[in-house]
Structure 1
């Protein structure tokens, strides 16, 4: 309290006052919104949790610390000489610039913030801004005054008093448009006007109307029209405050000699479209040696034309005979860039002087090809909980315009070698684990199908087709896997903020190469099984003679003995169910997986730019697997598996339907305060040839992007307590809310609450603590809360979140709330960028 009340004004000059607060009172009502606050020219010192921390740091700093040092040094006659005997006379002088003498004060001043002293000039500037703001809202008689109220020693607040008077409303709208063609265009689109009779005057609407008219004209042939050509005459009636609006669009002014001459606007049509495929320089036109005319397009090339004409013209929306349109130009630029074989195109329009029609334009499109081949290589050194030291290398080669129709082929390889002390290493090899893989991706800038789709998916939706194939091989990592993937998908953009993806075929085959390593990977399952074996196992062959614990092979035999009744355990007991559950989970996770699926994904994001913090994003996906595989299995008629299921190449294929919805909403609260909300729901239902969902398609809970009160894979299913190493299920419900705020500079904070869980439903799991059993199971929804710190590097955000288990459904109902909120049980989460 002493520090706050005394030192806060320590460096405020006499006869000056520290600004502590601003208030805007409009017509006797206090106004608090970001738009009004942005008009105030002078803001109080920033605060952290109500305290001006940076001002306090600034006040701690000494003024002229080097002068104070020399005053101290010369205060006693022999002080300099005595000090020089120890560190030399030169070092005595250098001490004045040391961190302890001057550097600390410089750091505090730089980090801190000088006191904001009330400035009458800035008060007048704010008054003028407020008056201008309310004038633009239609309050033409606005008067703004200010007063300064003392609130303590050298402290005061400033109040701005605004009296708006009566608002002015639009009484009539007329027009004065000199070019007859523009007048006709205006009348055709007048119903879309943003300015209506009876509306209160609002200057922002007039600006938006200028933009609307300009866009409309420029998309209907008026090439020379600019936004400053739209003007308004505002006529005010002093008696009733109503106003009359007159649109005033004069003919354009062009310079002829030394004089400006008014000339009517023209409506232009496109008479030619010329495409230069390998030059953006006009002076190189003389070197053109190849050309072709195709569908009213003229295509030119220096050297042999390396593109099929249709590949280029399909990406161009500027057409001969159509009116000039900015929209067509923008679509053409986007579409040509989307081919990924050219740099951003240069499009120019020139008046056609050869056609005899002054209202014709020639469109010239200049393209610079990207390199046909591009090689990229990278290397990373890493450390993780799997490997103590690892080296990862990537090599990728890109071929553009592969078949002369703007196709792109990408071939990439990757490899990793690592060292782990936790793995068996009888030969003493330093790099005792490895992973390598290769991917091939072929992209077509169109829908690649044997039939036409342009009636549904138009070319302005920028459709693409991707075919990709990948192979990965792991050694000494987990169960050692071979993973093969093959995907054919289609992508298009029906709107600027909407993306649709359709996976026609997605094949994934996973083969486990080292199933004997299962209990080394899933330690929790092994430990539970080993504890039960100490009670029930009587076969010493299953044990390691040195430790007395189950061997990996013995653990498998012990499970089989229990299930087959060779070891007498009550099959209704919890111990029996636990052993059976471990066995079933092991059998499921060591099985080779074949997934043949199709999926449809819809993604909409209304965020307008990087600084837009009021938006929503929604993603929905529906996926089915096994139907195509079922047709093949019926034809090949291979033997059934031990489980009685159909197989392809001796492998059971997965069959399920899966649907999920992910919704994100952000609200900008002003002053760098943001409220973010997310909710997710997903379910995967096995049927036909399967009674469970493959691990790679199941859901998990917990982690830095989910419920931050639990580590990844450690929450659920249901109230089971996350007893497995990797807990997953086929139903998930989750919701999160986060309040984000600025602390100082680029350091931000966050308060969050994450709720949700996973459950088993419609599969082969029967334990009620794992399964979703209607509304009563909603009591199993876990709640994690906490606080986070974030540092904004501009291009990404580094995040640390401290999560706590506020409501833990794994505990007894009387002990679920607040039992885990203490520092010793903090769940630390690191992340890059925000979780949603």
Structure 2
């Protein structure tokens, strides 16, 4: 079987190669001159062992051309371009003796020149998209050998020797072997310090020395010395030494001895004071903040104007060229530079960050004016206010496990500093359309989701609470509050609905990589519309009821319980359900048809009931990604939500009556009570040369209790779709091993695991191969179907597995993604018959997405 698979792969490779060669010129040597050689291979031997790490690969100044399935496709594309395109175009289209110039009689001069330019642009596109042949260059090979020597020298192998050998053949191919002999590494031995300024020397020995990154017994590593220099500079600039800089720190390394031991001297020089014609050395001094001046409406055009308004508040001086429009505390809360404290560089950084997050000012600037006499600093903070009123518009392309693709537009009015405390009020209206249809079902309209709504949001740059939280969450964590009221009307999957939401939310950032979010109150009221049309939406359930009703003679074979597209408050289908469950038909409890009717009724009741959710939740996110170009990082997300506890306790305390189902109600609607938690972990590895490996693991569970025996539809979990297990369309996977034909399958527990290898194909085109695994189950709720419930570790055999591949195009600001998923392990089939069934393109799922799935 393995041999057959290999032969199939090899045959496919050959067919692809033949196709390309038929379309393009496959002479890879086309642009290689007779006296040149094409570089085909680099080998790096370190102490006679091959080294293929990305670190070493990045040191190579010249590399062979990239390939796709062993084919140098980009070289072939490059070879299609003409190197002397200008002279060719002139000869063909600007030569009066050439018949091609007859096109001038059909086109205007401007059109004719545009036509010629298009030819040149296409030729340039071929060059840019393709890749020039990698011609062996001995000078670059020498630079590579030197780079290898410098690298290993920087890591402590001071006696390293490097060389290279080039093998050239008669076919003008060249292969280079680089040889590195490291010798024995040098190790740090004695470490001394020579610190000129006594106060810095005392601080180093009492506090800074303990965290040193260079220690006795370490192998020498230049990176450790650079990191130690950065650490000491940061610590000293945060300890009052305003004039201190990195250049004052040097290391004197002695490697004279023959025992591979290094004697290191840490040298911190005195401050250099430059005069007109000389430099003098003086000890560093600690500077303190003498004054903090805040100019709240500074602009270049009024820099020479007179201050008309000033306020002193908590040791801060606030100045304004016009009337002061802010409450002083709103401004001073954003300033971390405090009068009387020693200078700390981190205070300036935190102030910049907080002021930026306020979104009330443009281009904040902080200047320090030193006074050498008393070693003090005057800090001047210059703020340029943004416009008070601003119209906002946004357009988004989005995707989720609900939407295959969605388009949203919003417009609104933003009012800054509405209560003179740097608050921002946003009033907006939104509209969106989206598609959730199964790609294989051509009967549905494509855009089957739409939404209209309004939103009122107040952002407050501090915690909006009746008590002080400074000791628990200091202001350097940038605490903020958000109060939101919104109303939406949706034509959604399933039944249409209206939703009203109110939230009181708090955000803070304990560190640069950690975000905390607390919904103190989140109140949602969801009203389902057109509930009488339930069987017009859930036609599978309706068809099953008709089949049962005909089977027991409840209706004739040519009759129907109702037209499922005509809304009705109480339809014949509802009457039939009532008769079955009321034992008024031939069906009795325990019959499979009776169980089916009961399950349909339970599902209908849950999906048509209005929901009142009064919850609190906490979200934790730790994102280790440094920037947009960092492809080696991890993200951890954790969420905990508690719903209904407050209302339940109040209901019990006031001994409120229960409804016929034994549930408390508020305004005639039973409120939901549950606990829900989600854990999401994503890890990316940068493999170099635009290759990346990514994994995702997800677990979520929502457990009803107290006033609920099931989870609201909006809080349930779904499986499948372009961001999930991609071999199944959204909602079509699960629950468990059940072969459900429901339009929208959901449950209250979910497990997902995914792995994806991403690689560059050509220019902005990237490819990926992936494996997804996961499923949903019911647990601790009122669902009794064994196939749909999670009964312990044995249920893990019902985890579905999908595999496939995809192509992505990177537009820069977003990625357009297409994935093809194949059902590799289908838990809806019988055990022993689940692997690689319908594993073909006709049964594959085709996903279109925006950005990466994780």
Paired position in structure 1 for 2:348? 329
- Work out whether 1:742 is the aligned partner of 2:777: no
- Work out whether 1:785 is the aligned partner of 2:803: yes
Partners of 1:606 and 1:225 lie apart in 2 by 30
**Paired residue secondary structure (2:136):** coil
- Work out whether 1:409 is the aligned partner of 2:425: yes
Alignment of 1:792-831 (within 5 A): 792-831=810-849
Please say if residues 333 and 344 of structure 1, whose CA atoms lie closer than 8 Å, have aligned partners that are also in contact.
no
Paired position in structure 1 for 2:735? 717
**Paired residue secondary structure (1:213):** helix
- Work out whether 1:756 is the aligned partner of 2:774: yes
**Paired residue secondary structure (1:769):** helix
CA separation of 1:285/1:107 partners in 2, compared to 1, >3 Å: closer, same or farther? closer
CA separation of 1:464/1:543 partners in 2, compared to 1, >3 Å: closer, same or farther? farther
Paired position in structure 2 for 1:312? 331
Paired position in structure 2 for 1:428? none
Paired position in structure 1 for 2:414? 398
Please say if residues 66 and 97 of structure 1, whose CA atoms lie closer than 8 Å, have aligned partners that are also in contact.
no
- Work out whether 1:210 is the aligned partner of 2:229: yes
CA separation of 1:71/1:391 partners in 2, compared to 1, >3 Å: closer, same or farther? closer
Partners of 2:398 and 2:184 lie apart in 1 by 68
Partners of 1:549 and 1:372 lie apart in 2 by 51
- How far residue 254 of structure 1 moved from its aligned partner, in angstroms, is 3.1
CA separation of 1:158/1:84 partners in 2, compared to 1, >3 Å: closer, same or farther? closer
1:240-297 CA distance string (max 9 Å, x none): 2322222222223333123333333222111111111111559636421111212111
Paired position in structure 1 for 2:261? 242
Paired position in structure 2 for 1:134? 152
**Paired residue secondary structure (1:316):** coil
**Paired residue secondary structure (1:343):** strand
1:25-84 CA distance string (max 9 Å, x none): 1221211211211111111111112221111233455665898899999xxxxx977x89
Partners of 1:41 and 1:436 lie apart in 2 by 57
1:631-676 CA distance string (max 9 Å, x none): 3334665543231211111111111111221111112222222111
Partners of 1:595 and 1:305 lie apart in 2 by 43
- Work out whether 1:21 is the aligned partner of 2:59: no
Partners of 2:86 and 2:335 lie apart in 1 by 69
Paired position in structure 2 for 1:486? 502
Paired position in structure 2 for 1:573? 591
Q: CA RMSD in A?
A: 3.6
Paired position in structure 1 for 2:63? 43
Paired position in structure 1 for 2:11? none
Please say if residues 293 and 299 of structure 1, whose CA atoms lie closer than 8 Å, have aligned partners that are also in contact.
yes
- Work out whether 1:506 is the aligned partner of 2:522: yes
- How far residue 98 of structure 1 moved from its aligned partner, in angstroms, is 7.2
Structure with bigger RCO (C-alpha 8 Å, 6+ apart) = 2
For normalisation by structure 1, the TM-score amounts to 0.90
Q: Which moved more, 1:304-313 or 1:797-806?
A: 304-313
Which one of 184, 187, 193 corresponds to residue 175 of structure 1?
193
Paired position in structure 1 for 2:439? none
Please say if residues 271 and 352 of structure 1, whose CA atoms lie closer than 8 Å, have aligned partners that are also in contact.
no
**Paired residue secondary structure (2:837):** coil
Q: Which moved more, 1:632-641 or 1:16-25?
A: 632-641
**Paired residue secondary structure (1:133):** helix
Partners of 1:476 and 1:267 lie apart in 2 by 64
**Paired residue secondary structure (2:832):** helix
- Work out whether 1:347 is the aligned partner of 2:366: yes
**Paired residue secondary structure (1:719):** coil
**Paired residue secondary structure (1:7):** coil
Paired position in structure 2 for 1:76? none
CA separation of 1:290/1:18 partners in 2, compared to 1, >3 Å: closer, same or farther? same
1:448-491 CA distance string (max 9 Å, x none): 22222222111111111211111123479853322111111211
Partners of 2:406 and 2:222 lie apart in 1 by 62
Partners of 1:404 and 1:716 lie apart in 2 by 53
Alignment of 1:688-727 (within 5 A): 688-727=706-745
Partners of 2:837 and 2:37 lie apart in 1 by 49
- How far residue 101 of structure 1 moved from its aligned partner, in angstroms, is 9.2
**Paired residue secondary structure (2:144):** helix
Please say if residues 381 and 392 of structure 1, whose CA atoms lie closer than 8 Å, have aligned partners that are also in contact.
yes
Which one of 283, 303, 312 corresponds to residue 284 of structure 1?
303
- Work out whether 1:651 is the aligned partner of 2:669: yes
CA separation of 1:542/1:343 partners in 2, compared to 1, >3 Å: closer, same or farther? farther
- How far residue 328 of structure 1 moved from its aligned partner, in angstroms, is 0.9
Paired position in structure 1 for 2:292? 273
Partners of 1:615 and 1:828 lie apart in 2 by 29
Partners of 1:822 and 1:494 lie apart in 2 by 49
- How far residue 394 of structure 1 moved from its aligned partner, in angstroms, is 3.1
CA separation of 1:28/1:605 partners in 2, compared to 1, >3 Å: closer, same or farther? same
**Paired residue secondary structure (1:576):** helix
Paired position in structure 2 for 1:772? 790
- How far residue 411 of structure 1 moved from its aligned partner, in angstroms, is 1.6
- How far residue 334 of structure 1 moved from its aligned partner, in angstroms, is 1.3
Alignment of 1:251-650 (within 5 A): 251-281=270-300, 284=303, 286-352=305-371, 357-377=373-393, 394-415=410-431, 435-474=451-490, 479-536=495-552, 538-539=554-555, 553-634=571-652, 639-650=657-668
Paired position in structure 2 for 1:422? none
1:383-415 CA distance string (max 9 Å, x none): 99x99x999763312222222222222221235
Please say if residues 398 and 850 of structure 2, whose CA atoms lie closer than 8 Å, have aligned partners that are also in contact.
no
For normalisation by structure 2, the TM-score amounts to 0.88
- Work out whether 1:10 is the aligned partner of 2:48: no
Paired position in structure 1 for 2:168? 150
Please say if residues 733 and 758 of structure 1, whose CA atoms lie closer than 8 Å, have aligned partners that are also in contact.
yes
Please say if residues 597 and 625 of structure 1, whose CA atoms lie closer than 8 Å, have aligned partners that are also in contact.
yes
Q: Which moved more, 1:269-278 or 1:305-314?
A: 305-314
Paired position in structure 2 for 1:225? 244
1:564-614 CA distance string (max 9 Å, x none): 222322432322222221121111111111111111222111111112222
Please say if residues 506 and 598 of structure 1, whose CA atoms lie closer than 8 Å, have aligned partners that are also in contact.
yes
Please say if residues 535 and 564 of structure 2, whose CA atoms lie closer than 8 Å, have aligned partners that are also in contact.
no
Partners of 2:632 and 2:783 lie apart in 1 by 42
**Paired residue secondary structure (2:600):** helix
Q: Which moved more, 1:509-518 or 1:688-697?
A: 509-518
Please say if residues 469 and 486 of structure 1, whose CA atoms lie closer than 8 Å, have aligned partners that are also in contact.
yes
1:179-226 CA distance string (max 9 Å, x none): 222222222311211111222221111111111111111111111111
**Paired residue secondary structure (1:335):** helix
- Work out whether 1:57 is the aligned partner of 2:69: no
**Paired residue secondary structure (2:786):** coil
Q: Which runs of 5+ in 2 are unaligned?
A: 1-13, 436-446
Please say if residues 193 and 209 of structure 1, whose CA atoms lie closer than 8 Å, have aligned partners that are also in contact.
yes
Q: Which runs of 5+ in 1 are unaligned?
A: 74-78, 420-430
Q: Which moved more, 1:627-636 or 1:195-204?
A: 627-636
**Paired residue secondary structure (1:44):** coil
**Paired residue secondary structure (1:699):** coil
Please say if residues 543 and 549 of structure 1, whose CA atoms lie closer than 8 Å, have aligned partners that are also in contact.
no
Partners of 2:324 and 2:524 lie apart in 1 by 40
Partners of 2:74 and 2:433 lie apart in 1 by 48
Please say if residues 562 and 572 of structure 2, whose CA atoms lie closer than 8 Å, have aligned partners that are also in contact.
no
